[in-house]
């Protein structure tokens, strides 16, 4: 049995980082290199996305990445292999699976979670699984020591926010704005109101995601959120200039986050 995630609340002058890769996209080697770059930059949590043909919460960049990975023949099995290798190679980083519910459902909740735990995953992010239906996955996650991450949106009603925060584990994934992944988010005082509302309801750390793209964004989020989640901008850095540009991107982000 795993021990769940090792995330913790941060102080005003420091912010933790959460990164993302789509399993074996654009290639098995590239995904492994991206993970290495992130670990070197001190990223605390890395999401490994198992590609799905209907990525409802993803914007154009990750949608294309999902479809391309599937066209390249990436399977659920490949994602487990990557998880196993990465978690073994980088024992100080928390790895979580991010995927859509059908991947879990089709494998069987118990079988999927057991295998995820055996591969070294410490948590799960399933963006199309609302609170009303979490019991089954929560139950299995508890058995195998994984944290089933809760997601919150800016328009989530107050009474619902209370319920979601009550059962939060690992970190609360606070979606910073309307829409899908990849667009721009203005870091504003509104955001700090949003995260302090969550903080008041749960001691679980907060990860803010959707539209965080630059060192400037990261500076602005210190004291607002415990973690900043970066996906699209990092993948775009890889797409622009490969390994070197990706490494450089994370170095700058880490510097802003006060990691180096």
Q: Please classify residue 221 by burial: count the beta carbons closer than 10 Å to its beta carbon, then call 0-12 exposed, 13-18 middle and 19+ buried.
A: buried
If you write DSSP's letter for every residue of 179-228 in order, what string do you get? S-TTS-----HHHHHHHHHHHTT-SS-EEEESS--SHHHHHHHBTTBSEE
Catalytic residue (one of 54, 58, 128, 140): 58
Is position 58 annotated as part of the catalytic site?
yes
Using the minimum distance from each CB to another protein, give the nearer residue, 41 or 76.
Answer: 76
Using the minimum distance from each CB to another protein, give the nearer residue, 177 or 246.
Answer: 177
Using the minimum distance from each CB to another protein, give the nearer residue, 118 or 135.
Answer: 135
Using the minimum distance from each CB to another protein, give the nearer residue, 158 or 189.
Answer: 158
Catalytic residue (one of 47, 78, 140, 217): 47
Contact 150, 174 (CB under 8 A): no
The answer for residues whose C-beta is within 8 angstroms of residue 187's C-beta and 6 or more apart is: 217, 220, 221, 224
Is position 47 annotated as part of the catalytic site?
yes
- Measured from the Cβ of residue 130, the count of other Cβ atoms closer than 10 Å reads 13
Residue numbers at the binding site for another protein (CB under 8 A): 52-57, 59, 63-64, 67, 70, 75-76, 100-103, 105-107, 127-130, 132-133, 151-157, 160, 175, 178-180, 183
Tell me which residues are annotated as active site: 47, 58
């Amino acid at each position: 049995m795993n021990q769940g995630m090792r995330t913790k609340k941060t102080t005003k002058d420091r912010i933790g980082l959460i990164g993302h890769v789509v399993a074996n996209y654009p290639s098995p080697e590239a995904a492994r290199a991206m993970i290495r770059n992130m670990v070197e930059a001190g990223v605390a949590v890395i999401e490994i996305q198992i590609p799905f043909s209907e990525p409802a919460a993803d914007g154009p960049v990750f949608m294309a990445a999902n479809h391309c990975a599937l066209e390249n023949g990436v399977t659920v099995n490949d994602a487990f292999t990557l998880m196993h290798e990465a978690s073994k190679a980088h024992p100080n980083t928390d790895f979580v699976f991010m995927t859509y519910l059908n991947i879990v459902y089709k494998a069987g909740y118990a079988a999927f979670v057991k295998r995820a735990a055996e591969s070294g995953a410490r948590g799960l992010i399933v963006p199309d699984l609302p609170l009303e239906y979490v019991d089954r996955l929560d139950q299995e996650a508890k058995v195998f020591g994984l944290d089933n991450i809760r997601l919150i949106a800016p328009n989530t009603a107050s009474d619902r926010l209370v319920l979601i925060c009550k059962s939060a584990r690992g970190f609360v994934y606070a979606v910073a704005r309307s829409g899908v992944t990849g667009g721009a988010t203005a870091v504003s005082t509104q955001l700090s109101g949003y995260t302090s509302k969550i903080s008041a309801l749960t001691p679980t750390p907060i990860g803010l995601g959707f539209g965080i793209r630059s060192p400037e964004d990261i500076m602005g989020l210190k004291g607002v959120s415990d973690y900043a989640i970066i996906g699209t901008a990092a993948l775009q850095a890889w797409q622009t200039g490969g390994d070197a540009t990706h490494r450089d991107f994370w170095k700058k982000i880490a510097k802003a986050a006060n990691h180096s």
